[in-house]
Amino acid sequence: MKHTLTGKIIKKHLVSGDLKPGTELAIKIDQTLTQDATGTMAYLEFLNFNLPKIATKLSVSYVDHNTLQAGFENADDHAFLQSVAEKYGLYFSKPGNGICHQVHLERFAKPGTTLIGSDSHTPTAGGIGALAIGVGGLEIASALAGYPFSLTCPSVVGVHLTGKLPAWSSSKDVILYILKLLTVKGGVNKVFEYFGDGVKSLSVPERATITNMGAELGATSSIFPSDINTKAFLSAFGRAKDYIAMSADKDANYESIIEINLSKIEPLIAMPHSPDIVKSVAEVKGIKINQVAVGSCTNSSYKDLMLAAKILKGKKIHKEVSFIVAPGSKTILNALIKNGHLSYFLEAGARIIESACGPCIGMGHAPASGAISIRTFNRNFKGRSGTADASVMLASVEVAVASAIKGELTDPRTLGAYPKFPALINFESDTSLLLSPLPLKKRDAIKIIMGPNIKPLPTAKPLADNLSGKILIKTGHNITTDDIMPAGAKILPLRSNIPEISKHVFIKLDPEFYSRAIKENGGFIVGGDNYGQGSSREHAALAPLHLGVKAVIVKTFARIHKANLINFGILPLVFDNPADYEKLYANDSLELFNVVKALRAGRKIKARTRGLDFELIYQLSEREKEILIAGGKINFIKKELSK
């Protein structure tokens, strides 16, 4: 039997189930990561279990999203997170240390290990050969409590890379090319595994750009083999001992294979407002732009920033353009300070900001009204930048910087010779903002700090057999968790306060949603295809739970959001006949009959509205059904722990 790399890692970590795509299996988790915007909930959930310590080998709590601190809320969250890390033995990455995925790649990610993170871009670590999966916070809490992680066994798609990227094309263009091919729903329940001769031309951070944006395909994960480039990257961070060579067997059995000749890849760009609306830059060049941002967990590595600095050397940013740079980690920022390259940015007219997510999640640097912004980021959903009518395009560093100089969308191939510079072989291991776990004997004295913005979690009641209420909203297709529960500078600080943040559910699609949900005492959500794509934020389930949402009925779900609904006891249901979607309207009354009995018997659920009878189905494992019936995973685990 020839194994894929994914298959090998799963096999090594398998706790239950088989490697049969579509069935549920459980794996042991070696590492976890959280970031602050999802982490406060994850740790509140963990505290609920009343356990003395964490059960994982290595867990890191990062602060990188909410670093604006316009009020006390974010700083309160940081203090809470630090106190939890100290009490329970986690690493703590303080604000300013960098973006979780970049820092994790540099300091902790290891080939052949399993990692779950409460952030959808956790598969960034696939660039180093880890099987890394984005999850809701409650999965992290469960892993910290010692539970294996359950998932639908993914099918493994092979991506066969040949050739070498031409000058001015980059690994960002490779993933944009795949997004164009497969769209934002093309990867659900799949792992994209890269192999072939072309792999060796890509460094770990370049690979990580690709695995990072595999999240935009809706994929479970993406992974590269671990080879001499992996070894070089680990050595540069003083971690040569973490290296092991890992790859798929030759002629491994892939579900399907995508062939990509890297030498044919040209500079591409994702147009507003979805990462899969991809065009070649040559085709759409000339569009006047107002803002350019380089950074985010997709493109803020040493190579990315050095390249930008080299291109900018001796040049100026166009006077109509605001150019923002957020280095991925403090280590990278410091390297550019020490080698003098940071000054090329400053001399060109760049605005250097903290090593954090920043504008990627709408924390500052919102574009002007109607502005066009080119960003090296991974998501360009409408309004995510903080400006409702701005347009964001996603591109490589090469395209972004060329455009910043010219003031319009520019093909970087017009810039002349491609800058050359050596890879850095020795990064300083500065840990001034990265705190190691406290020694055991010091942990007892630590008190958990909970500021006034940190409110208790809502909990669901056990599932009732008959459910009734109004359809509170009917959405279209590809609804993102940014649509359900927006982020940005005003709303993100409320992540630890579910009653407050609930006032913003669906606010961009339907400002009356909150008041209607309160008036109707909860109800149902109806949606189309790929409902809940994008981020891992549990708040897109927790806030609807707080508002009394009982079930979400759609054509198809995105993976992480569906898991979050289950974890919080909201039924994720699917139309048996997709055409019934057309027959339902907002404000209709809806009844679901004998739900618990149907789930236990594996039968379709009968539903009725306006005299119309129809049926609903579900893709749920027996374990997931029991979680839903118990009223969510917290209730379920508490029951198990009390046994």
Give me the least distance between CB of 549 and ligand MIC, in Å please.
19
Give me the least distance between CB of 61 and ligand SF4, in Å please.
14
Q: Where are the beta strands (DSSP E) in 99-215?
A: 114-117, 131-134, 149-152, 155-162, 190-195
39 or 631: whose CB is closer to ligand MIC? 39
Please name the residues in contact with 127: beta carbons below 8 A apart, sequence gap of 6 or more. Answer: 105, 204, 205, 206, 207, 208, 209, 210, 211, 212, 224
According to the binding rule CB under 6 A, does residue 361 interact with ligand MIC?
yes
Order across the sheet with 24-27: list the strands. 14-16, 24-27, 149-152
Concerning whether 477 is annotated as a catalytic residue, the answer is no
When binding is defined by CB under 6 A, the residue of 357, 371, 570, 616 that contacts ligand SF4 is 357
According to the binding rule CB under 6 A, does residue 119 interact with ligand SF4?
yes
Concerning whether 537 is annotated as a catalytic residue, the answer is yes
According to the binding rule CB under 6 A, does residue 82 interact with ligand SF4?
no
- Three-class SS of 334-366: HHHHHCCCHHHHHHHCCEECCCCCHHHHCCCCC
Give me the catalytic one of 30, 77, 119, 276.
Answer: 119
Which residue matches tokens 């030759």?
250
According to the binding rule CB under 6 A, does residue 361 interact with ligand SF4?
yes
Q: How far is CA 49 from CA 52, 126, 462, 537, 639, in A?
A: 9, 31, 18, 21, 10
Residue 561, preceding peptide bond in cis (omega within 30° of 0)? no
User: 241: buried, middle or exposed (CB in 10 Å: 19+, 13-18, 0-12)?
Assistant: exposed
Quick note: the x/- pattern for ligand MIC over 487-526, rule CB under 6 A, is x---------------------------------------
Contact 379, 293 (CB under 8 A): no
Give me the least distance between CB of 187 and ligand SF4, in Å please.
16
Could you count the other beta carbons within 10 Å of the beta carbon of residue 170? 29
- For Cα atoms 412, 373, 260, give the angle at the middle one, nearest 5 degrees: 45
Tell me the β-bridge partners of 149: 27
Query: Distance (Å, rounded) from C-alpha 196 to C-alpha 181?
Result: 20
Give me the catalytic one of 207, 341, 375, 379.
Answer: 379
Listed ranges 43-51, 242-250, 357-365, 547-555: which one lies at the site for ligand SF4 (CB under 6 A): 357-365
Contact 328, 295 (CB under 8 A): yes
Phi first, then psi, for residue 226 (nearest 5°) are -105, 125
When binding is defined by CB under 6 A, the residue of 32, 67, 120, 355 that contacts ligand MIC is 120
According to the binding rule CB under 6 A, does residue 157 interact with ligand SF4?
no
Give me the least distance between CB of 89 and ligand SF4, in Å please.
24
Contact 2, 253 (CB under 8 A): yes
Quick note: the x/- pattern for ligand MIC over 604-643, rule CB under 6 A, is ----------------------------------------
Contacts with ligand MIC in 208-227 (CB under 6 A)?
A: none
Judged by beta carbon distances under 5 to 8 A according to partner kind, the member of ligand SF4, ligand MIC, none in contact with residue 99 is ligand SF4
Give me the least distance between CB of 585 and ligand MIC, in Å please.
30
What letter would DSSP give residue 153? P
Concerning whether 510 is annotated as a catalytic residue, the answer is no
Concerning whether 273 is annotated as a catalytic residue, the answer is no
According to the binding rule CB under 6 A, does residue 366 interact with ligand SF4?
no
Listed ranges 48-56, 105-113, 114-122, 230-238: which one lies at the site for ligand MIC (CB under 6 A): 114-122
Query: Distance (Å, rounded) from C-alpha 217 to C-alpha 220?
Result: 9
According to the binding rule CB under 6 A, does residue 110 interact with ligand MIC?
no
Judged by beta carbon distances under 5 to 8 A according to partner kind, the member of ligand MIC, ligand SF4, none in contact with residue 536 is ligand MIC
Quick note: the x/- pattern for ligand MIC over 30-69, rule CB under 6 A, is -------xx--------------------------x----
According to the binding rule CB under 6 A, does residue 484 interact with ligand SF4?
no
Judged by beta carbon distances under 5 to 8 A according to partner kind, the member of ligand MIC, ligand SF4, none in contact with residue 184 is none
Judged by beta carbon distances under 5 to 8 A according to partner kind, the member of ligand MIC, ligand SF4, none in contact with residue 399 is none
Give me the least distance between CB of 134 and ligand MIC, in Å please.
6
Contact 358, 364 (CB under 8 A): yes
According to the binding rule CB under 6 A, does residue 119 interact with ligand MIC?
yes
Contact 316, 398 (CB under 8 A): no
Give me the catalytic one of 107, 207, 537, 559.
Answer: 537
Q: Where are the beta strands (DSSP E) in 36-168?
A: 58-62, 91-93, 114-117, 131-134, 149-152, 155-162
Concerning whether 65 is annotated as a catalytic residue, the answer is yes
Please name the residues in contact with 294: beta carbons below 8 A apart, sequence gap of 6 or more. Answer: 300, 304, 305, 308, 323, 324, 325, 326, 375, 376, 397, 400, 401
Q: How far is CA 555 from CA 135, 544, 580, in A?
A: 22, 19, 9
According to the binding rule CB under 6 A, does residue 360 interact with ligand SF4?
yes
Query: Distance (Å, rounded) from C-alpha 125 to C-alpha 518?
Result: 41
Listed ranges 115-123, 253-261, 389-397, 592-600: which one lies at the site for ligand MIC (CB under 6 A): 115-123
Could you count the other beta carbons within 10 Å of the beta carbon of residue 231? 18
Give me the least distance between CB of 518 and ligand MIC, in Å please.
24
Concerning whether 610 is annotated as a catalytic residue, the answer is no
Contacts with ligand SF4 in 367-386 (CB under 6 A)?
A: 377-378
Give me the least distance between CB of 158 and ligand MIC, in Å please.
26
Contacts with ligand SF4 in 89-108 (CB under 6 A)?
A: 99
According to the binding rule CB under 6 A, does residue 537 interact with ligand MIC?
yes
According to the binding rule CB under 6 A, does residue 562 interact with ligand MIC?
no
Q: Which two tokens stand for residue 375?
A: 């960003």
Give me the catalytic one of 274, 403, 535, 536.
Answer: 535
When binding is defined by CB under 6 A, the residue of 121, 190, 231, 318 that contacts ligand SF4 is 121
Buried/exposed 595-615: b ≥16 CB within 10 Å, e otherwise: bbebbeeeeebebebeeeebe
According to the binding rule CB under 6 A, does residue 561 interact with ligand MIC?
no
Could you count the other beta carbons within 10 Å of the beta carbon of residue 308? 30
For residue 256, the SS3 value is: strand
Contact 435, 62 (CB under 8 A): no
380 or 502: whose CB is closer to ligand SF4? 380
By CB under 6 A, name the binding residues for ligand SF4: 65, 99, 119, 121, 296-297, 357, 360-361, 377-378
By CB under 6 A, name the binding residues for ligand MIC: 37-38, 65, 119-121, 134, 361, 379, 487, 534-537
Q: Which residues are catalytic?
A: 64-65, 119, 379, 535, 537
